[in-house]
Amino acid sequence: MIRRALVCFITLGLVACATQPTLPPTASPAAGSPQPPRSGPAEAQPEAASNLPPVDLTPVPLETARANFIRDTAARYGLEPAYVAGVLDQAQVRQPIIAAMARPAERVKPWNEYRPMFISQARIDGGRQFLARHRQALQQVQARTGVPAEVIVAIIGVETSYGGNMGNHRVLDALYTLAFNYPRSGDPDKLEREVRRELFFRDELAKLFELARMEKLDITTLKGSYAGAMGMGQFMPSSYLDFAVDGDGDGRRDLFTSHADVFASIANYFVKKGGWVAGGQVAVPATLDAGREEFNPTEWLPTHTLSDLAARGYRPVGTVDPTATATPVTLEGSSGKQYWLGFQNYYAITRYNLSKMYAMAVFQLSEAIAGKELPPA
């Protein structure tokens, strides 16, 4: 699922994994971070970007942009310009990737349609089997970081079906395509966003060179999603560089084949990027007093005290730490509105993918893997 400042090429993220641009996603979620499965889009209303620096919208010829990239990437990471140019010469512009990014966004599915795309009996059973196979390694990471094993497994289940589908696009082609050929709609109102997205992927392409150097990866053979996310947890290059961990002590961070590295890296992402609280709750159901107006803040930080939320008519169902702070979550269920309170650990999951429904799906899948009964969708 990825992942997240201006550094040479304007890094807009953050994904986890997933680094994600701080702009609303197109039809396909921006992989600055982890991706939801292509069976359905993530919720299309992440937090709004704020205080973004200005960006030059003047068109730059491809050859000029490419030459600047070679010069800047070589200087940035101490590489030979001829090496960078030689790698780019092997990259291919992939029209299916452009088409996927340009595809009109589907309607945002309500929760009762969204959840079954992520949570099925087969995915629950697969998660339990995966947990059983890797229980010792997962419990070691849980003890070290406070991130429950079931949550780590749920992320891998949602992102890549427990490592079974890590993407079949060459990462070099995906990032090169989006870095220099990001689709333009022709709508002047969308131009700034499209330029920022292209610059985001250009920065990720530059970081792919650094990642390959640091981890001794063959930059020309890496496979991942059509947006460049890699490995079992679908980390973009920036998230791989910033949050991946050598969990097995072999001196490398391998998010493709080393389960120990994958488990430790996902947990590290939650802790470092999301502020995961060991032993903290993720979310609890709530009720909204009759006649009270829904409260749907645009910022998802869990900064509202329970007394503040009670004054707005929100009351948690079940035991909650009275000192906790939360954010209200409204879902369109099969039998009407569902209300939840999301705590810091719920917010941490939204850092992996900027979608409230994605976070709820990961949480509920983790609960089901742990053997708990789920509420109706």
**How far is residue 127's CA from residue 54's CA, in Å, rounded to a whole number?**
44
β strands within the chain, DSSP E = 169-170, 223-224, 283-288, 304-305, 314-316, 325-333, 336-342
User: What CA–CA distances, in Å, run from 204 to 8, 54, 104, 241, 253?
Assistant: 11, 20, 24, 10, 18
Determine the Cα–Cα distance for residues 377 and 374; give it in Å rounded to an integer.
8
* Per-residue b or e along 166-188, where b marks 16 or more CB atoms closer than 10 Å to that residue's CB: bbebbbbbbbbbbbbbbbeeeee
Looking up tokens 């097995």 gives 248
How far from chain centre, in Å, is Cα 40? 15
Q: Which residues are catalytic?
A: 159
Helix (H, G, I), strand (E, B) or coil at 338: strand
Residue 152: Cβ-neighbour burial (10 angstroms; 0-12, 13-18, 19+): buried
User: End-to-end alpha-carbon separation of the chain, Å?
Assistant: 21
